[in-house]
Structure formats: C-alpha cells, structure tokens
Structure 1
C-alpha cells in the first residue's frame, strides 16, 4: 500500500562493498546490448555549466520490458579539490515505472567510476590490437586509474605504462598503485609517449588537445573519456579524419563527445559490434578510437545489480517514503 512504501538508500561504502568488477563488466555489456537492440532507451542528456564553476548533468533512460527506469544526476565541481573533496559527484535513482515512485537512491560516484572503466574494457577488447604491449595514459585521477586497471586486465600482454600529468611532475601514488603489475614511468614528453604507445587512454577534464596529431602512429587504439560536455576535447584537430571511429551512442557523441568536433565522421556503435549487427576487422595499421560519453543504461543496469544484491543481503538504510 502507498503508506507502506519505502526507499532504500545505499551510501558510498555500501556500494563499494557490493560492487565487483566482473559483475559490472557483464552489466555494462548488457547495457550495450540493450542499446543496440533498442530495448533500452537513452533520453536526451542535460549538461549545463553553473555560475559556481561546476557542470551539472542528468542522464536517464529505461528498459520498458524489464521495468527498469531511472536517472543519474551528476557533474564536475573542480573547486571541491580545494577542500579535499572529490570533484566528480553523482547520485543514481531507480524508480518504479508503474507509478513514478523512487525505489532506491544510490551514491553514484563509485558506479560512474567502475562502469566507465568497464566500458573502456569493452572498447579495448573489441578495438585494440591483441599484441599491444605499451600504454600511454593522460591523467592520474580516479578515472585514469580505473581505465588502466581494466585495460591491464583485458590485455595481459600490456607491460609498459607511461603516464602524462598536467603539471609535468610524477605522481608517486599513481605509480605505486601499478608497480606490481607493469613497468610504469612518468613521461615528460607527451608526443613521444603517444608515438611509442599501442594504446592511448585520455582521462582528463578535457580542456584541450593533449598531444600533436603527428605523434599518433598507425596501429594505435585510443580510449577517450574526458570529452563529455559541449566544448570539451582531448584530441588534436584532424584526429577523427585518421581513425576508425566507434562510439557508445551516435547522437550523444556528436553532441558532447570528441565526435562533436567532426560530427559527420562515419562511426559505429560499440553495442552493434557486441551484438553482431556490425562487423569490425582491424588491420594492423588502423588507428581506432572509442569515444566514450557514458550511457544512462550503464548506470541503470549497474544500479539494479546493486539494488538486488543489497536487498538480498540486507544492506542499506530503508526509510519510510509514504505517498
């Protein structure tokens, strides 16, 4: 009955305990599949700059056949760093599609981090050369780390990592996190690091081109995360003309991803590769690019996994939410 309705709350620590990388990989694969089969809908993205210096967005969608409906309210507040806080902030809400009532509210930071890393893993699996050994990573933040972790899991042949920082100084904490898995060193020359890489990961705030176009060599694969808002970019002018382009969502990528800078570039959706609707044969000299803008369906499939697991294990705070 309406007066007995309850809302389940899952905080950051509970989410991190419940979430396992292998499960998130499968949930994200399901999201790509649902999107490709058009069983899952992705609604238009809200992404707006605020007078406070932050960027606020909403990604939402549903899977009508599965009774899945919800949204993620999220954004980026760089000033949070000044007080020791995380600049990325996100909250996910699952709702009952039959009546519009909220069912579960979840801290979305860990979800966003892990599902984006998992999406990157699928990009690496489908697009990178299987014999890739060298990685160049731009950034040392949470997303750079999770992208690298998933890439190393996906391609065991990767054994050499060079990372580029905004300030040009090494990051001992970042190096220590991967020292047992690979050879890792700070790169002071971004163009040289890109030229020597088989896989390039860009996970920065998207303030501008990170390297020169001439540095990009045949056979390279790029996983690009930072362009998620109009006006953002990480790649130099002319990159898209040289690559085989794969996106998570065609229209979304043209609006807020790297693809916005050359919106007429032919592209394939990754979900269509996973479902077999499109085929992809990588030649050794191909330069491939996965433009990741993030699907609402990824947030929702992972959130549903967490909700079901929390209910089964009695995790979270259940509060009265009468209507």
Structure 2
C-alpha cells in the first residue's frame, strides 16, 4: 500500500479567493448540461431534521467520463446565530473513483453561496425579460446578497431594487453593499413591491408564503431559493399554476422544492434549455419561475476547478493520508 498519499484541504480563504464569477458560472452551466444529457448522476438526497433543531443533508453524485466523484454534507443550524456563527454549514469532499480515496476536502459554504448565485444568474439570463430593471428581493442574508450580486451583474440595465426584511425596517449594511450599483430601498409593502417588479427573488429560510398570489403581475420572473426541504415554501398557492415552471431537477423539485406543493404541474429542467434539448420563447406576459433546489453536480464541478486551481497554485494545506 502507498504510504505517501496526500489529502488536500482548502479552507474558506482559499476557496473564496478563487471563486471568480465567470469561472463559477461556467462550472454551473456545465453541471446543468451534464445533468440534461444524463452524463452525470445524482444519488438520492439525504435531508433530515436533527434533535438539536438543525437540518442535515447530503447531496452526492458522479461523472464517470470525468472521473469525478464526491458529495456535499450541508444543512442549516439556526441556533448558530446566537453564538455569532453562520447558520448554513457545508463541506464538500472529492474522491478518486478508482480507489475510493479522498482527494480534497473544501469549505462548502463559499461553494454553495457562489454556485447558487450563479444558478440564479443563469436562470435570469434564460428566463427574465431582457428589459427587466426592477427587482424585489426577499431576504438580506448571504444568499440574498449573492443572488442580487449576480442579478445586477447580468441584467443589462441599471436596476431599482426593493428589499423585504422580516421587521419591515431598513438594513443599512445590506443597502451599503449595493448602493453604488443600483437605487436600493426597503419595501414598505411587500405586495406592492412584488407587483411593481420585473424580477422577484426569494432567498429566505422558506418558512412560509411571502406575499399574496395576485401581487405577481404578467411578465414577472421569480427566482426561488429558500424551499430546499420537505415542508418548506416561499410562494403562495396560485403562483405556480399561472407560471411556466423551470427547475434544476424535476424529481428533486417535486420532493423538496416549491414544486412539492403542486407536483402535477409540468416543468422543464434548466439544463435542457442550456444544452439545446428544449427551447422556450418567452412572451411578454409569461410568468416564469425558476425553482432551485441545488444539484450535487453543481458542487462537484465547482469543487473540481477549485481543486485543480489549488494544485496549480500550490494553495491550501496538504496533509499525509496514508493507506
């Protein structure tokens, strides 16, 4: 047995420094196309509530043609806020499919944030009206920030942003991140904010309906992030029934996404649009929903380019991991 085997560890600082938006979008696009072509596999998702009040999950998969194998262990621990910690926690691991030996362990929080933001951005490119310039975003946390970051980067016009907080009060720190890139203000009435927006982004913990169904106007695009577990939702009844629905994976969306509340409705996988397998020509009055539950393949394609980057730059910490 070899005794000189190494395991590469990439912490948050290494991961974040390498997560350039263009590279992340390329990797996420590749993941969606691989999934569309069924060139990559998704293994059954684990998502379980814990006695501590947290939620623990595992998403895993492989791409045989690329010798890519791994998983992400992740979840949500709301009590972390009480000790000044981040409630979302994630770790990604890559393995050698020939031997089962671990190759690399990476900070998964930064990967999850970036790849989910990039996925939302790809959805905007494919589904939102090109002239969209008015955004309503629910949430002011890390995921809300990255979704807004990608939206402002990819929408061609300078945007006006209304953000919805739990209390209804402004959050100056959130505004400060974006005030040089858009006109941003807190929404005083969430239904009015939704009704006056071209793009609605929901990036909350998914604890319940966020607005009234009739607030959604014809032509609106909705990016839905928060429903990622059975029982979670952000959209009210009646929105999906009026919309053209797009998902990252049909089975998964109907199990843990917004589509769990209307599983009989037709939906299209975003990868089929990106690969050219299917097409969608938006009419000005179409309501579109991108129900994002997150694919293991997204984590793996992003982790692979980070692993290759780290080896090239000699970044991270290499530790002995003998057989």
TM-score (norm. length: structure 2)? 0.99
Runs of 4+ with deviation above 4 angstroms: none
1:39 aligns with 2:44: no
Residue 293 (str. 1) matches residue 297 (str. 2): no
1:160 aligns with 2:160: yes
The C-alpha deviation readout for 1:259-312, integer Å capped at 9, x for no partner, is 000001100000000011111010000000000000100000000000000000
Unaligned 5+ residue runs, structure 2? none
Aligned to 2:22: 22
Superposed displacement of residue 168, structure 1: 1.4
**Which residue is equivalent to 1:219?**
219
1:226-237 mapped onto 2 (5 Å cutoff):
226-237=226-237
Is the contact between residue 135 and residue 158 of structure 1 (CA under 8 Å) also seen in structure 2? no
Name the residue aligned to 1:284. Answer: 284
2-structure distance, mates of 1:138, 1:100: 42
Distance in 2, matches of 1:170 and 1:56, equals 32
State the distance in 1 between where 2:193 and 2:308 align. Answer: 43
The superposition leaves residues 83-138 of structure 1 with CA deviations (integer Å, 9 ceiling, x where unpaired) of 11000000000000001110000010000000000000000000000000100000
**1:40-75 deviation line (CA, Å, top 9, x unaligned):** 111111000111010000000000010000000000
**1:159, 1:281 → 2: CA distance?**
24
Question: Number of residues paired by the alignment?
Answer: 323
- How many Å separate the matches in 2 of 1:280 and 1:201? 21
- Which string of whole-angstrom CA distances, capped at 9 and with x for unpartnered residues, describes residues 163-209 of structure 1? 00012111000100000000000002100000000000000000000
Partner of 1:73: 73
The CA deviation at 1:2 is 2.5
* Contact 1:132 1:158 survives alignment (8 Å): no
Q: Distance in 1 between matches of 2:104 and 2:134?
A: 42
1:142 matched to 2:137: no
Q: How far apart in 2 are the matches of 1:319 and 1:39? A: 32
Cross-structure match for 2:53? 53
CA distance in 2 between partners of 1:182 and 1:240 (Å): 29
Q: TM-score, normalised on structure 1? A: 0.99
1:175-186 alignment, distance < 5 Å: 175-186=175-186
Match of 1:115 in 2: 115
SS in 2 for 1:234: coil
Asked if the contact 2:92/2:105 (under 8 Å) is kept, the reply is: yes
Give distance in 2, aligned partners of 1:275 and 1:22: 18
Partner in structure 2 of residue 131 of structure 1? 131
Give 1:254's aligned residue. 254
Query: Alpha-carbon deviation of 1:156?
Result: 2.2
SS at match of 2:3: helix
Q: In 1, are the aligned partners of 2:131 and 2:156 still within 8 Å (CA)?
A: no
Q: What is the match of residue 197 of structure 1?
A: 197
- Offset of 1:158 from its aligned partner? 4.3
CA-atom RMSD, angstroms? 0.7
